[in-house]
Amino acid sequence: MLAYRKRRPSPGLSLDDCPAPGAPEAGEVTVRVEAVGICGSDLHVADWSGGYDFMLPHLPLTLGHEFAGIIEATGPGVARVTPGDRVTIWPSSPCDTCPECTAGRRRNCRNKATLGLYRDGAFAPLVTARAQGAFTIPDALSFEIAALTEPLCVGRRAVKTGEVSPGDRVLVLGPGTIGQSIAVFARAAGAAQIGIAGMNDPARLEVCNRLGFDQTYDLSDPGARTRMQADFDEADVVFEATGRDESVQDGLGLLRMEGILVMTGIHSGDVSFDATSFVRGRRQIRASHGSGEEDWHAVIATLADPALDLAPMITHRLPLSRIAEGLSLASSRRASKVMIFPQQQDVSE
């Protein structure tokens, strides 16, 4: 089968012909991948620009961790799902045996073995996963929208971390899929005002507009920066979803006293900020990364609501054979979420 892989610790990915996975082991399932999204982290791994050295012992490795599909086979002892079930997969589901899991902190599992980062992922027609991570999806939910569950869970977790409350003024730095997901759940949490900023990012800011967020700012325009500062001075919560070092100071500079900055972006180097005003303003910096089981249940329930139209988040659709085009579209930011369909020979964009 075709699989899109990281072969060695240097820039680049390759579409290789690989053996299909064998029968699933105890506690595992094999999933026929119907839709899988290209994530910002896939672009970082492709560039190999820092922050992903933990992958070294696992190379070569198939990427892809945001997906939905159909259970093809189940290993011994699996009762959670049966072949034919439509599912999406939590790629870093807990092991339930390590000290963190047994202490009740499953979200901090030490054996996460995240698909697409520690073991073979879903940029392939078939993938093997822990049955624990399989969540069945409603019949009416399309595979491509179900494949957004993982980034939506990351957004929901960040909003929980930032304690967004009704009436809050919330600014999201970074208009990509995680920024969009944060905005969607900040709105659900009752935020009164939500702004989203990007830098030379017109296509993704346009997606934010189509999702119903009209306060968007392209900071490459000095006028937009001035407007953002006027609109969101003394914000309650700012989310940093860019990985750009300057955006940490930008975000802190806009927070009210005791406001919360939630960092979700992966930074390739150190970050500096004005520590004196940070301390005097008693501001908070928190980190949010990944998601927990509660997020998976909540997001899937949310997606079942036909009134929530998240289709604008997906801007491009490609078969697996053309995934390299998808990566270049995503890294140029001409695309927002690029969805790959591994079972299809050709699909229209």
Which residues lie near Zn ion (CB under 5 A)?
A: 39, 94-95, 98, 101, 109, 111
Complex with Zn ion: residue 101 or 203, whichever CB lies closer: 101
Tell me how far apart the alpha carbons of residues 216 and 175 are, in angstroms, rounded to a whole number.
9
Complex with Zn ion: residue 95 or 203, whichever CB lies closer: 95
Question: In degrees rounded to 5, what are phi and psi of residue 253?
Answer: -65, -20
Complex with Zn ion: residue 50 or 167, whichever CB lies closer: 50
CB of 37 to Zn ion, least distance (A): 7
The per-residue DSSP string of 106-148 comes to GGG-TT---BTTTB--SSSSEEEEEGGGEEE--TTS-HHHHTT
Complex with Zn ion: residue 174 or 259, whichever CB lies closer: 174
Complex with Zn ion: residue 5 or 65, whichever CB lies closer: 65
CB of 39 to Zn ion, least distance (A): 3
Tell me how far apart the alpha carbons of residues 133 and 342 are, in angstroms, rounded to a whole number.
20
Q: Would you call the peptide bond into 138 cis, given omega within 30 degrees of 0 as the criterion?
A: no
Length of the chain: 349
CB of 208 to Zn ion, least distance (A): 18
Complex with Zn ion: residue 24 or 121, whichever CB lies closer: 121
**Which residues have a Cβ under 8 Å from the Cβ of 39 and sit 6 or more positions away?**
65, 66, 151, 177
Complex with Zn ion: residue 18 or 101, whichever CB lies closer: 101
Label residues 323-334 b or e (16+ Cβ within 10 Å = b).
beebbebbbebe
CB of 112 to Zn ion, least distance (A): 7
Q: What are 61's two structure tokens?
A: 């490795």
Tell me how far apart the alpha carbons of residues 260 and 236 are, in angstroms, rounded to a whole number.
7
CB of 276 to Zn ion, least distance (A): 35
The C-alpha torsion from 114 through 117 and 121 to 124, rounded to 10°, is 170
CB of 151 to Zn ion, least distance (A): 5
Question: In degrees rounded to 5, what are phi and psi of residue 266?
Answer: -95, 120
Beta-sheet strand order (sheet of 255-263): 215-218, 193-198, 169-173, 235-240, 255-263, 284-287
> Bridge-partner residues for 261, per DSSP?
238, 285
Complex with Zn ion: residue 88 or 250, whichever CB lies closer: 88
Q: Are 174 and 241 in contact (CB under 8 A)?
A: yes
CB of 236 to Zn ion, least distance (A): 27
Amino acid in the structure at residue 204 = R
CB of 185 to Zn ion, least distance (A): 16
Give me the sign of the Cα torsion angle 86, 315, 190, 281.
positive
